Structure 1
Amino acid sequence: MRMLLKVDPIDSFSGTFRVPSSKPETQRAILVGTLAEGTSRVYNDLRCDETETMKAACRALGAEITEHEGFLEIKGIGGTLPDIRRVVQSRGSGLVFRIVTALASALPSPTVVTGDATLRKRVMAPLLDALRELGADIESIADEGKAPIVNWGGGLKGGTCRLPGDISSQFITAILFAAPLAEGPVEIEVTGEVYSQSYIRQTLASLTDAGIKLAVSEDMRHYHVEPSHYQTQDVTIHEDYTSASYLLAAAALFPGRTVLTNVYGDSLQGEFAIVPILEKLGVSVTFDEDTLSMIVDNPEGSLCGDFEVDVMDCPNIVPTLAALGAYVQGSLKVTGGRLTRFHKASRIEAMAAELTRAGVDIEVLYADGVCDGFLVRGAQTYPGGVTLSSWGDHRIFMSLFVAGLRMQSANRFSGFEDVKLSFPSFMEEFTKAGARTTAVEEEDAPAGAVA
């Protein structure tokens, strides 16, 4: 019997909450530590299911990773890649699958890389084709162009590969991490628009700090990587702005003052865009460097006006913006989100379908025949009392959870267990604000409710 989470509405949202550390920064730091020779330390790391999956994969590659209070200690494998001959489990992490698949090309022996049912549906063909252009010997075990794969190893030769820029930045990140291990220089040519450039910048910063010799064109369509050795480094992980967006959205829906801690204030993350977006909506956001905190003042608790946001470089906050838009008295138009159709769920369509069920006036927008954004005309509140589906995507659940807090009666949600993927303390943080939740069996849902 499937369990749903019943969530009662709240009257206010204020207090002090802790923002989780960055998942992408943690994952990249673990990778760099794994590929370096010597010992690296990663301070203020995020510990969630998807970083655990990255650690498990890196241990399979030969790294020794020890967890301490407040930091990780990583003894890397250096330039000598082990003969592992094993299956590496990526579970639901697209980043882990894609990077390990690329790194396995440089291993001396065969490696199978697999994942769960959600991952096996995701697009992988462009990455596999690009790795083959660089000399990799890869086969899909089941459906062509998808996980699981067997990488027969034998080393990357180098050369030039081509990738589309409008499916996943993780393809570029994966090859950038593997390229220094190739026998010769690697050139990456990206076709079309390059979406989610902020994630590529995070990768480039990690590689540059680790001593990798690389160059990138101004338009981020051309990359050159020389064979080079990863160097050890100690890094401190900053806040995760995708996770922060749920707390910030809740703060924008109710009058009051909210303080978010574990906030350094400077970030390469594209999802930092949530801060200026809130400011345009009339919410005051200030940073306190001494206390590593963000102060959010929202005296009115009312979002009014007509706004337009391009999310080409911040796709992970698309569901959050849909939740916010439901309460903008006026309109919120979001464009540039076509890449989200390749995520765990087609996030624009998912949020539009579920918010429509709750009575929100939201319209999916298309560009060139592709789902690209939405237009939402909000209201002060909604009746609530509906059952909403996460579509198997934890970011859909967290965004719908926030939207439901200002409705008139309790809603029920599927997929609440999946917050452990990136924001394990999600329920704990919202409980501080007075949110009351109860796990109920699906059969107890009201007649006619659909999940």
Structure 2
Amino acid sequence: MRLKLHLSPPATKLLKSNIRITGSKSESNRLLLLQALYPNIGIDNLSNSDDAQVMQKGLNTSKGVVDIHHAGTAMRFLTGYFASQEGKEVLLTGSRRMTERPIKVLVDALHKLGAEIAYEKNDGYPPIRIKGKKLTRNKVSLPANISSQYISALLLVAPGLGNGLELDLKGEITSVPYIKMTLALLEQIGVRTTFEGNKIKVYPEESVNSKTLVVESDWSSASYFYSIVALSTVGSEVILSSYKKNSLQGDSVLAGIYKNWGVDTDFRENEISLRKVADLKPENLNLELSNAPDTAQTIAVTCFGLGVGCHLTGLHTLKIKETDRLVALDTELSKLGADIIVSDKDLILRPSYQMNKDVAIDTYNDHRMAMAFAPLAMKTSIYVNDAEVVSKSYPDFWKDLEILGLTIRKS
């Protein structure tokens, strides 16, 4: 049965809470793949998300059907993994939406490296049948403006290839922080890499020294608390753990972005304090988010909640996420009374002075739709349909909102 929740504002908008968020889904899935290649690697603070569990289950499979459901990261990463694992043969599939999300760019690159991958139904889309082989070719090129997950999928398996990998990215690179995250994790386990201009090289490594890596908590999950604090009153403070100032995660740019609305970030030992220090409402905010596209939904909703305008660009990868996130934002914000225009790569929100009450937000099997809209409960009561979708990345989300004082009940 689908879970529908009714969210109402807290008794006071002066917030004082401590929240612990589990490890980053992005870091966890990268490290899980590296651990499969090098079993002597240990992982602490692993994400408790559905995506991480699906990834673990897939990595422990040698043959048969591997169903990753809605987990796009797992689809891309496991495609590279199974293609490079001699003796493994699987049918990699997922939800109906997953069969609509393109995989051709990655499959073509793997074919050039000698992989044996066939489309089971529609050319360019899952499900795909993979027969693992020892890959010895080591040079391939990719368009640079694609999802960084295609690039990371190749980089993660590269040290296990016979001759490593030389990757040539054509054009302007999208989501550089995610690529740098992958390379940094490789370096941390002892794999040598270089990234100069548009060329990336990963050197082969048969074995690495035993080491335990600690996954930083998820900055994408932190975004919803930034939004809540921005919509609260001056003096509010929410402390989140475990975070570090020199983060590998691209979404850590939130600390700078939310200064625009009077939210300060204080980095402490293994935690951050989010404090509302001023009521700032810039008339219109222009943000280029190609390096942090997962923050776009949260930022757009924050702007609407504050009655301010924004122009968000660099959003072309949102079209191929769990849903078409730009179309979904247009639909749901319009229901609330927003004046919004979207294209295939940007979003314009004009300042709004009204917010419709008790609107039911549809989530489209997209965890970030549910969580991005939830902070509006600081301003008005809303419904969230299919609210269980948050388990994809943040299973404890609704419990943590109750800690903040929001009233949440099943409807």
Aligned in 2, Cα 1:300/1:216: closer, same or farther, shift over 3 Å?
closer
Match of 1:416 among 387, 391, 399: 387
3-state SS, counterpart of residue 382 of structure 1: coil
1:227 aligns to 2:204 (yes or no): yes
Q: Are the equivalent residues in 1 in contact too, given 2:112–2:140 (CA < 8 A)?
A: yes
Q: Whole-Å Cα distance in 2 between the matches of residues 115 and 13 of structure 1?
A: 43
Query: Residue type of the partner of 1:200?
Result: I
1:317 corresponds to:
295
Q: Whole-Å Cα distance in 2 between the matches of residues 206 and 158 of structure 1?
A: 23
Q: Are the equivalent residues in 1 in contact too, given 2:260–2:282 (CA < 8 A)?
A: no
Q: Whole-Å Cα distance in 2 between the matches of residues 299 and 208 of structure 1?
A: 39
TM-score by length of 1: 0.85
Match of 2:310 among 332, 341, 354: 332
3-state SS, counterpart of residue 140 of structure 2: strand
3-state SS, counterpart of residue 286 of structure 1: strand
Q: Are the equivalent residues in 2 in contact too, given 1:325–1:377 (CA < 8 A)?
A: no
Q: How does 1:94-133 map to 2 (within 5 A)?
A: 94-109=72-87, 110-133=89-112
Please say which of residues 120-129 and 147-156 is displaced more in the overlay: 147-156
> CA shift at 1:301, angstroms?
4.5
3-state SS, counterpart of residue 92 of structure 1: coil
Aligned in 2, Cα 1:180/1:310: closer, same or farther, shift over 3 Å?
same
Q: Whole-Å Cα distance in 2 between the matches of residues 343 and 127 of structure 1?
A: 16
Q: List gaps (5 residues or longer) in structure 1.
A: 61-83, 441-451
Q: How does 1:55-134 map to 2 (within 5 A)?
A: 55-60=56-61, 84-109=62-87, 110-134=89-113
1:24 corresponds to:
26
Structure number with the bigger relative contact order (C-alpha 8 A, sep ≥ 6) is: 2
> CA shift at 1:3, angstroms?
4.1
3-state SS, counterpart of residue 172 of structure 1: helix
> CA shift at 1:31, angstroms?
1.8
1:264 corresponds to:
244
> CA shift at 1:135, angstroms?
0.5
Please say which of residues 338-347 and 12-21 is displaced more in the overlay: 12-21
Please say which of residues 390-399 and 11-20 is displaced more in the overlay: 11-20
2:355 corresponds to:
382
> CA shift at 1:213, angstroms?
3.1
Aligned length: 405
Q: Whole-Å Cα distance in 1 between the matches of residues 97 and 14 of structure 2?
A: 34
1:186 aligns to 2:165 (yes or no): yes
2:177 corresponds to:
198
1:48 aligns to 2:53 (yes or no): no
For the aligned residue pairs, the C-alpha RMSD in angstroms reads 1.9
* Moved segments of 4+, more than 6 Å: none
Show CA shifts across 1:114-133 (max 9, x none).
22222221110000000000
> CA shift at 1:149, angstroms?
1.0
Show CA shifts across 1:169-216 (max 9, x none).
111111112222223342222222211111111110111222223322
Query: Residue type of the partner of 1:55?
Result: Q
1:174 corresponds to:
153
Query: Residue type of the partner of 1:99?
Result: F
Q: List gaps (5 residues or longer) in structure 2.
A: none
Query: Residue type of the partner of 1:47?
Result: N
Q: Whole-Å Cα distance in 1 between the matches of residues 107 and 130 of structure 2?
A: 10
Aligned in 2, Cα 1:30/1:395: closer, same or farther, shift over 3 Å?
same
